[in-house]
A and B are shown apart, each in its own frame.
Chain A
Amino acid sequence: MYIKKVFKTGSPYIWLSGGTLTISLLMIFGLITLIMIKGLGIFWPHNITRLMLNDNSVVLGEVAKVEPIPNNKGSYRTKLKVGNRDIYGMDFRWVDNSRIIYQDSPITALTIERREWGNMYGFLKGMKHDNTVEPLSLDDLKPLLKESKTLYKSIRHTEKKEIGKINHKMEKLRLALKSLESAPQSDNAIEEIGSINTKVETLERLYTEKVDTLTNLYASTKEKEVVIELADGREETLSIFQIVRIYEPNHMGIYAKSRFYVLKFWEFVSAEPREANTEGGVFPAIFGTVIMVLIMSLAVTPLGVITAVFLREYTSDNIFSRIVRISVNNLAGVPSIVFGVFGLGFFIYFIGGGIDKLFYSEALPTPTFGTGGILWASLTLALLTVPVVVVATEEGISSVPNSLKEASYGLGATKFETLWRITLPQATPGILTGMILAMARAAGEVAPLMITGVVKLAPSLPLDSYSPFIHLERKFMHLGFHIYDVGFQSPNVEAALPMVYTTTLILILTVLVLNLVAIIARNKLRKKYATSAL
Chain B
Amino acid sequence: MNNIKIKNLSLRYGKKQVLKNINQEIEEKKITAIIGPSGCGKSSLLRCINRMNELIPESRVDGEILFHNKNIYDADTDITEVRQKIGMVFQKANPFPKSIYDNVAYGLRINGTKDKKKITAIVERTLHDCGLLKEVKDRLNTSAIQLSGGQQQRLCIARALAIEPEIILMDEPCSALDPSSTFKIEELMVKLKERYTVIIVTHNMQQAARASDITGFLYMGELIEYGDTNTLFTNPKEKLTEDYISGNFG
Contact = CB atoms under 8 A, between A and B. Distances in A.
Interface in B102-131: 106-107, 110-111
Interface residues of A, number: 25
Contacts of B106: 408, 411, 413, 421
A528 B90 CA distance: 23
A87 interface: no
B92 interface: yes
A241 to B, nearest CB: 65
Interface stretch (A118-126, A370-378, A399-407): A399-407
B84 A411 contact: yes
B83 A410 contact: yes
A403 B93 CA distance: 9
B204 to A, nearest CB: 21
A411 B107 CA distance: 6
Contacts of A421: 106, 110
B94 A403 contact: yes
Contacts of B97: 404, 426, 528-531
Interface in B33-89: 50, 52, 55, 57, 80-81, 83-84, 87-88
Given A417-B110, A530-B145, A316 B57 contact: yes
B149 interface: yes
Contacts of A531: 97, 145
B235 to A, nearest CB: 36
B94 A404 contact: yes
A422 interface: yes
B174 interface: no
Interface in A286-316: 316
A409 interface: yes
Contact of B96 (A407, A412, A533, A534): A407
Contacts of B87: 410-411
A410 B50 contact: yes
B160 interface: yes
A406 B110 contact: no
A532 interface: yes
A412 B107 contact: yes
Contacts of A413: 80, 106-107, 110
B110 A410 contact: no
Contacts of B92: 403
B84 to A, nearest CB: 4
A224 B217 CA distance: 107
A403 B107 CA distance: 16
A422 B110 contact: no
Interface in A375-417: 401, 403-414, 417
B55 A406 contact: yes
A412 B145 contact: no
A410 B160 contact: yes
Contact of B90 (A407, A530, A533): A407
For B106, B146, B160, B163, the residue with the greatest tally of chain A CB atoms inside 10 Å of its CB is B106
A120 to B, nearest CB: 66
B83 A412 contact: yes
B156 interface: yes
B143 interface: yes
A391 B140 CA distance: 37
Nearest to A317: B57
A403 B89 CA distance: 11
Contact of B143 (A409, A417, A533): A533
For A411, A413, A532, the residue with the greatest tally of chain B CB atoms inside 10 Å of its CB is A411
Contacts of A533: 143, 145-146
Contact of B52 (A316, A409, A414, A530): A409
Contacts of A408: 96, 106
Contacts of B145: 530-534
A341 B106 CA distance: 49
Contacts of A403: 90, 92, 94
Contacts of A426: 97
Given A401-B94, A426-B97, A533-B145, A410 B88 contact: yes
Nearest to B103: A407
A219 to B, nearest CB: 71
Contacts of A532: 145
B110 A411 contact: yes
Contacts of B110: 411-413, 417, 421
A309 B127 CA distance: 34
A129 to B, nearest CB: 79
B80 A412 contact: yes
B154 interface: no
Contacts of A414: 80
B90 A410 contact: yes
A528 B50 CA distance: 31
A422 B94 CA distance: 12
Contacts of A410: 50, 52, 83, 87-88, 90, 160
Given A401-B94, A403-B92, A403-B94, A409 B84 contact: no
B159 interface: yes
A224 to B, nearest CB: 70
Interface string A416-430: 010001100010000
Contacts of A404: 94, 96-97
A422 B102 CA distance: 12
A353 to B, nearest CB: 46
A352 B46 CA distance: 58
A302 B52 CA distance: 30
For B83, B87, B92, B94, the residue with the greatest tally of chain A CB atoms inside 10 Å of its CB is B94
Interface string B138-166: 00000101100100000010011001000
Nearest to A411: B107
A406 B50 CA distance: 12
Nearest to B54: A409
A404 B149 CA distance: 16
A401 B87 CA distance: 20
B71 to A, nearest CB: 19
B49 to A, nearest CB: 11
Interface string A154-173: 00000000000000000000
A411 B111 CA distance: 9
B163 A406 contact: no
B143 to A, nearest CB: 7
29 contacts: A316-B57, A403-B90, A403-B92, A404-B94, A404-B96, A405-B55, A406-B52, A406-B55, A407-B94, A407-B156, A410-B50, A410-B87, A410-B88, A410-B90, A410-B160, A411-B83, A411-B106, A411-B110, A412-B107, A412-B110, A413-B80, A413-B106, A413-B110, A414-B80, A417-B110, A531-B97, A532-B145, A533-B143, A533-B145
Interface of A: 316, 401, 403-414, 417, 421-422, 426, 528-534
- Pairs of residues from A and B, 7 with the lowest C-beta to C-beta distance, nearest first: A412-B84, A411-B107, A403-B94, A410-B88, A412-B83, A412-B80, A533-B145
Given A413-B106, A531-B97, 5 more contacts: A404-B96, A406-B94, A407-B90, A409-B52, A528-B97
